[in-house]
Amino acid sequence: MKQRTLGKSSLQVSALGLGCMGLSYGYGTVTEKNVAIGLIRDAVARGVTFFDTAQLYGPFTNEEVVGEALKPLRDKVVIATKFGFEVPFTDGMQRLNSRPEYIRQSVEQSLKRLGTDVIDLLYQHRVDPDVPIEEVAGVVKDLIAEGKVKHFGLSEAGAATIRRAHAVQPVTALQSEYSIWFREPEEEILPLLEELGIGFVPFAPLGKGFLTGAIDQTTQFSSQDFRSTVPRFAEDARLANLALVELIGTIADRKQVTRAQIALAWLLAQKPWIVPIPGTTKLSRLEENIGAADVTLSVQELAGIEQALSHIQLQGDRYSEAHKARWGR
């Protein structure tokens, strides 16, 4: 597996990481623990060194599974986790909490669940409007000085927040959604990250499964699958957005690779400091995704994709109204 460095930091990781959320959260079905551990270790054996989890996923169970899977391989991998939500939930509600004392409490609990003495990359999961980002960055700076954390990250933060946080404690990476299906970060975020020397870790690089071609307008989502609440996955929107899937399929057929590999290769081609974290529960998909690191899109192919995309009108927001307020602060 090729390696990439996140921005101007010293944090080097595999060109593709593994997003572990879906093993225990978000899609309705929880992967059996032994199967999840096996998949994570299979990823390491195939060159993946970057693993993403969070307290929220489960909550808690994802960190435990990731920690157990990687404990015997700890010196070979980079583990990223997140704080910022009150967990367990109260009345089923997700409440933000980045108060300094809660960050410290969260980190201590994450260290125990992960079975490690240091977190390689610690993200604020979502910006808390009730706590100045300077305070958040200051706490993480202290945790780094204490040896409990190595690098600071933000997730779904807006440009002004990133700049303010970076002035207190250098931000190693921003994690936000970015794919050939959702390109808004190109407007303001990517130029800022390049200016400040911050790496970018796109989640949902396969459009939550849509870009693989496995989902069409007839697909049914269970009530436990968060995609059932996402406007972009409404039946009419899926039907309209299949034009993008067809475009990716045409390019994939021409290069004799898969749609997923084209979608990931496109992301890797955007900047050398971008590290996507596709998730999966299946070994075959893991191997397929890893193969994308060896797919090269030429300048001409990228230009052709750009031109074709200009003629496709994508439909549907990527978040429900309830979740929009937590993005881009």
Q: pLDDT tens digit string along 306-325?
A: 999 999 999 999 877 767 66
pLDDT tens for 53-105 read 999 999 999 999 999 999 999 999 999 999 999 987 777 678 999 999 999 99
CA distance 263 to 57: 25
- Give, in order, the Cα–Cα distances in Å from 18 to each of 31, 50, 101, 213: 15, 6, 30, 20
pLDDT tens for 230-267 read 999 999 999 999 999 999 999 999 999 999 999 999 99
Which has more confidence, 321 or 303?
303
Q: Is 25 a catalytic residue?
A: no
Instruction: Report, as an integer, the average pLDDT of 216-239.
Output: 91
Helix 100-114 vs helix 61-70: crossing angle, to nearest 10: 50
CA distance 141 to 123: 12
Residues whose CB is less than 8 angstroms from the CB of residue 294 and which lie 6 or more positions away in sequence, other chains included = none
Going along the chain from its start, the domains and CATH numbers come out as: 3-324 (3.20.20.100)
| Pairing relationship of beta strands 12-14 and 18-19 according to DSSP bridges | unpaired
Using pLDDT thresholds of 50, 70 and 90, give the confidence band for residue 111.
very high
CA distance 11 to 84: 23
pLDDT value at position 327?
Answer: 73
Cis ω for the linkage preceding 59 (within 30 of 0): yes
Catalytic residue among 57, 102, 123, 178, which? 57
Residues whose CB is less than 8 angstroms from the CB of residue 71 and which lie 6 or more positions away in sequence, other chains included = 115, 116
Task: Indicate whether 203 pLDDT > 80.
Answer: yes
**Which of 86-100, 164-178, 298-312 has the weakest average pLDDT?**
86-100
Task: Indicate whether 226 pLDDT > 90.
Answer: no
Report which residue type is found at 267: L
Q: Which residue has the tokens 């609990």?
A: 109
CB atoms within 10 A of CB 48: 24
Helix (H) / strand (E) containing 285:
helix 283-291
Cβ(169)–Cβ(191) under 8 Å? Answer: no
Task: Indicate whether 151 pLDDT > 70.
Answer: yes
Cβ(151)–Cβ(120) under 8 Å? Answer: yes
Give the CA angle between residues 18, 81, 86 to the nearest 5°.
130
Instruction: Report, as an integer, the average pLDDT of 269-292.
Output: 98
pLDDT value at position 325?
Answer: 67
Residues whose CB is less than 8 angstroms from the CB of residue 106 and which lie 6 or more positions away in sequence, other chains included = 55, 83, 84
pTM over 0.85? The answer is yes
pLDDT value at position 324?
Answer: 66
**Which of 24-28, 33-37, 65-69 has the weakest average pLDDT?**
24-28
pLDDT value at position 231?
Answer: 93
Q: Which residue has the tokens 């998949």?
A: 39
Q: Backbone phi, then psi, for 200, in 5-degree steps?
A: -125, 130
CA distance 135 to 256: 50
Report the mean per-residue pLDDT for the chain: 95
